[in-house]
A and B are shown apart, each in its own frame.
Chain A
């Protein structure tokens, strides 16, 4: 079965500290992988995506993610968190083929301490 797991429901980090949000997936074919961010009361904004090639992908707002096929993981990282990064983060898999359907993880809420 196709699924996405984000093991951490809630994470708190201090401003300036590094961040890693975990994402594990189960998908039959070569996965297309995405990270979206949702600020309170807002829609989802694409942070970055992986389709093929270099397994380390760069996104907006200083985020990066690394695709590890052997671990079925696509973890999101940022070297130094800013207070404005407080939001909910969603990992998603799928998007290929005619339907383009996405399967989302449960989401991780990031709180940033001053």
Chain B
């Protein structure tokens, strides 16, 4: 049982390039989340999908888009990367009626 998986593990981009971060979960969870982690700021919610077919903005959505491809997969896209988006990105999922979120291993992104 893999839980929550994320690809890639590490990525370097140049300013203005685009990329998509992939997330998949095999726990049949309804809700999925994207966070970014920056030193001294904890984790901040970028976007979330409470259920398949829905997505909503979190605390820091600017510069990002998401797609809930199906129940398993939730991707995060940077259309035009900026140095301020250098961060560690975590995906998480939560079962329906449950309270606990389960996290993936993270993607480290460096934007030059």
Contact = CB atoms under 8 A, between A and B. Distances in A.
Do A and B bind? yes
A100 B99 contact: yes
A94 to B, nearest CB: 9
Contact of B100 (A43, A95, A101, A104): A95
Contacts of A98: 50
A34 B99 CA distance: 10
Interface stretch (B12-20, B38-46, B79-87): B38-46
B45 to A, nearest CB: 6
Chain A at the B interface: SS class: loop
Given A43-B106, A44-B90, A106-B41, A101 B48 contact: yes
Interface in A61-103: 90, 92, 95-96, 98-102
A80 to B, nearest CB: 27
